[in-house]
Amino acid sequence: MQDGKSAPFGFLGKIDGAIGRAEVWILGWGIILMAGNTIANVFGRYVFNQSIYFSEELNEFLIVIVTFMGLGYATRKGIHIRMSAIYDALPVKMRKGLMVVIAATTAVMMALLACYALDYVQKVASRGRITPALQVPLYLTYVWVVIGLALTSFQYLLTALRNLNFAEEEIYVSYLEVDSYEDPETAAAIQRYEDVGEETQRGEEKQCPN
SS3 content of the chain, % helix, strand, coil (to 5): 70, 5, 25
Q: What is the pLDDT of residue 1?
A: 46
Q: Into how many domains does the chain fold?
A: 1
Q: Is residue 3 part of a domain?
A: no
d(CA 171, CA 163): 6
Residue 75: half-sphere exposure toward Cβ, Cα within 13 Å: 28
Q: Is the pLDDT of residue 4 over 50?
A: no
d(CA 90, CA 39): 50
Q: Which amino acid is at 198?
A: E
Q: Is residue 208 part of a domain?
A: no
Q: Is the pLDDT of residue 55 over 90?
A: no
Return the closest-CA partner of residue 92 out of 170, 148, 33. Answer: 170
* pLDDT single digits (tens) 92-141: 888 888 889 999 999 999 999 999 999 999 999 998 888 888 888 888 98
Q: Is the pLDDT of residue 82 over 80?
A: no
Which residue range is the domain that position 54 belongs to?
10-199
Q: Which amino acid is at 72?
A: G
Against a cut of 0.85, is the pTM above it? no
Residue 53: half-sphere exposure toward Cβ, Cα within 13 Å: 5
d(CA 132, CA 136): 8
Q: Is residue 169 part of a domain?
A: yes
Q: Is residue 32 part of a domain?
A: yes
Q: Is residue 136 part of a domain?
A: yes
Mean pLDDT is lowest, of 23-37, 100-114, 148-162, 185-199, for 185-199
Q: Is residue 82 part of a domain?
A: yes
